[in-house]
Amino acid sequence: MYKTDVRGPLILGDKNYRQISDDIIAPINQPIPGWWKVAFFIALLMTIFGVLALYQTVAVGLGTWGVNNSVGWGWEIINFVWWIGIGHAGTAFSIFLLILRQKWRTSINRAAEAMTVVAVMCAAIFPAIHMGRVWLAFFIFPYPNTRGPLWVNFNSPLFWDFIAISAYLLISASFWYFGMVPDFATIRDKATSKIKKAVYGFFAFGWTGSSREWLRYEALSYVLGGIAAVLVVSVHSIVSTDFAVSVIPGWHTTVFPPYFVVGAIFSGFAMVMTLMIIIRKMYKFQDYVTNSHLNAVAKILVFVSLIMGTAYATEIFIAWYSGSEYEMFTFFKNRITGDYSFQFWSMVICIPVKRLSSFKLDDLQSDLGRNRYLCRYTWFIYDWRTVVLQVYPNDSH
């Protein structure tokens, strides 16, 4: 089915529609598997730890963190940038492939979009709790107030962040949800219990699967996709201005907006791939998320990694070309040979390793391993971006 000469089959195993629906819905009707409970328990423990940490932060103060009067930002902003970044991949994945009419998108887009929504919600935590007085976080909302001329500062990138995140969360959640409406309808139709029917029926918005509905569905997808495509570029560009508009050497860099966007897509795609490898194995979706799909993702990754490499090279070149010895210090002394050389070199080494290995996807286990590394090291990129660059103020003090 959907077999083309160039691409090969979209779904393996020569299945008909009924089989496909049954296969996809199968996990919903199964009893909850043991591995899922274990994974959920681990996730729960981590969440409890996170909540305790949040409580400590709010109750005692930001002093419980390692940041100081020279370097005001640390892990919280790293996490923010990272989560927002990987969130991008979901949108980028869905939208770019949608616009390019790549059918194989459908095997992965749902997971990617879900990841986006969750990641953006995670990301939103950090700018909130990095505030010294989080209980007054609403000051950042431009709401009508009685303070006369005291309004939010439209010059501040943190305010732009707020706007960007809320817009992004809204659009990506809508996109995700509307995409799921026909699927809810399918589950509703297949459901046996009345409660399930009612719940899924509610979420399905009375979807009947008529041609007119499909037509409107397509139209809505393209409209939302069009808006979201802009956001993919704008949100991380705005996040990058947190650094780019500052006066701090190593932060004050115009290459940041494209560089952040590409970095985000890079780490996000890697994350999508990591998640899909696990999901297709655990839910036995190898026929739907095929090796050739993953291979396509890997090709995109390779391409994006080349852009990343160019961005790094540009950054280093500009540092040299600017003739500013402080830029030189930040990039050459601090990163390439200094305190952060481990992170720098592991990142540099990690990307080509990925590049060389990602064409062949025969051994999924080892691929998973590589992907994890990729994610981790893209995390390092952000770690390094936000922390290393603050060495300058550290020194000046």
Partner 1 sequence: MEKKYWRSPEELTNQAIISNEEDLIPEGKNLLDIIDEEIAQKPSSRRNFLKFCGFSFATAAIASSCENPVKKAIPYLNKPEEVTPGMASHYASTYFDGSEYNSILVKVRDGRPIKIEGNTLSSVTRGGTTARVQASVLSLYDGSARHTTPLKEGNPASWSGVDGEITASIREITAAAGTIVLLTSNIISPATKKLIEEFKITFPGVKQLTYDPVSASGILMANRDCYGQAVIPDYLFDKAEVIASFGADFLGTWLSPAEYTSRYIKTRTLTNDEKKLSYHIQFESGLSITGSKADKRVAIKPSEEAGLLLQLFSELSVKSGQTSVASGIPVEAISELAGKLWAVKGKSLVVSGSNNPNIQILVNAINNLLENNGSTIDFTAPLLTKQAMDSEMEELVSQMNAGTIGGLILWNVNPAFDYYNPKAFISGIKKVKLTASFSPVVDETQEYVKFVLPGHHFLESWDDAEPRRGFYSLSQPTIRPIFNTRQPQDSLLKWMGRDGDYYTYLKSFWISDILKSNEQTWKTTLQAGVYETAAAISSVAFNTQALIPATEALAAVKKSESIEVILYQNIPMGNGMHTNNPWLMELPDPISKVCWDNYASLSPESAAELGVEAGNTLNVNGIELPVFIQPGQATGTISVALGYGHTNFGKVATGIGLNVYPLTFFEGGTRGFVNSAAKVEKGGGEYKLASSQMHGSMEGRPIVRETVLGSYLESPDSGNELHAEFEKKHVTLYKETEYKGHHWAMAIDLNTCIGCSACVIACQAENNIPVVGKDEVMKTRAMHWIRIDRYYAGDNNNPEVVFQPLMCQHCDNAPCENVCPVSATNHSSEGLNQMSYNRCIGTKYCINNCPYKVRRFNWFRYATNDKFDYNMNSDLSRMVLNPDVTVRERGVVEKCSFCVQRIQEKKLLAKTENRPLGDGEIIPACGQACPAKAIVFGDLNDPQSEVSRLFKDPRNYHLLEELHTLPSVGYLTLVRNKEENKA
Contact predicate 392/330, CB 8 Å: yes
CB of 389 to partner 1, least distance (A): 10
Return the number of other C-beta atoms located less than 10 Å from residue 330's C-beta: 25
Nearer to partner 1, 140 or 308 (CB): 140
Nearer to partner 1, 285 or 329 (CB): 329
CB of 2 to partner 1, least distance (A): 50
The helix or strand, by DSSP H or E, that contains position 368, with its residue range, turns out to be: helix 364-388
CB of 158 to partner 1, least distance (A): 4
What are the Cα distances from residue 57, in Å, to 52, 79, 133? Answer: 9, 15, 10
Nearer to partner 1, 168 or 251 (CB): 251
Contact predicate 191/203, CB 8 Å: no
Nearer to partner 1, 162 or 380 (CB): 162
Contact predicate 83/126, CB 8 Å: yes
Dihedral pair phi/psi, residue 98, rounded to 5°: -65, -50
Site for partner 1 in 153-212 (CB under 8 A): 153, 155-159, 162
146 touches partner 1 (CB under 8 A): no
109-129 and 34-60 helices, crossing angle to 10°: 20
Name which position in 56, 68, 166, 286 contacts partner 1 (CB under 8 A). Answer: 68
Query: If you count them, how many residues does the chain have?
Result: 397
Residues near 130 by beta carbon (within 8 Å), at least 6 away in sequence? 62, 73, 76, 77, 80
Tokens representing 271 are 């994350």
54 touches partner 1 (CB under 8 A): no
Name which position in 152, 167, 278, 307 contacts partner 1 (CB under 8 A). Answer: 152
Nearer to partner 1, 326 or 332 (CB): 326
Name which position in 131, 180, 181, 318 contacts partner 1 (CB under 8 A). Answer: 131
Q: Considering only 18-26, 32-40, 124-132, 338-346, which stretch makes contact with partner 1 by CB under 8 A?
A: 124-132
User: What end-to-end distance do the CA atoms of the chain give, in Å?
Assistant: 66
258 touches partner 1 (CB under 8 A): no
Binding site for partner 1 (CB under 8 A): 60-63, 66-73, 127, 130-134, 136-137, 139-140, 150-153, 155-159, 162, 242, 245-248, 325-326, 329, 390, 393-397
